[in-house]
Amino acid sequence: MERWSGKVAVVTGASSGIGLATAKALVQHGMTVIGLARRVDKMENEMKAVKGAGKFFAKSCDITKEADVIQAFEWIEKNCQTVHLLVNNAGTMKCATIEEVKTEDMVNIINVNIMGLLHCTRQALHLMKKNGHEAHIININSLAGHKIYDLDESVNVYPATKFAVRAISETLANELKGKSNKIRVTNLSPGAVRTEIFEVSQLKPETIANFLYLEPEDVVSMILYAISVPPHVQINELTINARGAFYEKKA
């Protein structure tokens, strides 16, 4: 991690869960971290006690709004010059069948999980390419982006958005291939992680009880691993799960 000390990281969804844990770890490793989320006060309060050589800046940003993202990255360029690491972490889901899900909920899931990721990736790429340095984009995906699990409840388009993120990651890696390009892309897919997303999703307690959980810090350890390998190494895909995790519906 020494080569990342003093470098600039952008973490989306940094007010809780994986995003917050990632921001804390990167600051502890000496990086300048810009957290993008709507809950600025929560980010600032959560990060107050973090000790490390790095710095943290909380920026209000709704990643579903392209104008918000552009404004945030304009601030980043003005104050930090560039971005070395982008962690596309923000995500959401809502429990309902495809037939019954409200249109506004479905659109929000698509906008957060796909369009928000694309908005941030495009802006980060502009700065990464402009400055020509080593850089890394990590897309926090889900095992639901690899397989449709047979749960007792439906989360409608959530798996579809995560399959899309995996396709976007692979497409981006293909676009950035070549020895002259210093930007790497990693698609990181964890199983169930103990975060606020299950509260937001409104899954039934008995459904949630079937999961064996990873902690946000488990995912962070994989992020640190992915960015710590030698620059010539490309980790395209990482999947992690809690040991013995059960995802299929019980017979």
Sign of CA dihedral 129, 130, 136, 138: negative
CB-CB neighbours of 207 under 10 Å:
16
| Per-residue pLDDT at 93 | 94
Written as six digits, the tokens of 174 are 């293909």
- In a 10 Å sphere around its CB, with 0-12 CB exposed, 13-18 middle and 19+ buried, how is residue 251 labelled? exposed
pLDDT band at 27 (very low <50, low <70, confident <90, very high): very high
Of the residues 149, 158, 225, 247, which is catalytic? 158
* Three-state secondary structure call for residue 37: strand
Q: What is the pLDDT of residues 34-90, one digit of tens each?
A: 999 999 999 999 999 999 999 999 999 999 999 999 999 999 999 999 999 999 999
Position 179 scores a pLDDT of 66
- Cα(194)–Cα(209) distance, integer angstroms: 12
Higher pLDDT, residue 210 or 161? 161
* Helix/strand/coil for 32: strand
**Alpha helix (H) residue ranges in 112-157:** 117-131
Segment 150-207, tens digit of pLDDT:
887 899 999 999 999 999 999 999 999 886 789 999 999 999 999 888 877 888 877 7
Catalytic: 158?
A: yes
Give mean pLDDT, residues 141-149: 94
The residue ranking higher by pLDDT, 248 or 199, is 199
Identify which has the larger pLDDT, 194 or 222.
222
- 141-177 burial by CB neighbour count: b if 16+ within 10 A, else e? bbbbbbeeeebebbbbbbbbbbbbbbebbeebbeebe
Q: Map out the domains of the chain with their CATH numbers.
A: 2-240 (3.40.50.720)
Residue 251: its pLDDT value, please? Answer: 47
Identify the residue with better confidence: 245 or 230: 230
Using the predicted structure, report yes or no on whether residue 229 has a pLDDT greater than 70.
yes
The span from the CA of 58 to the CA of 44, in Å, is 6
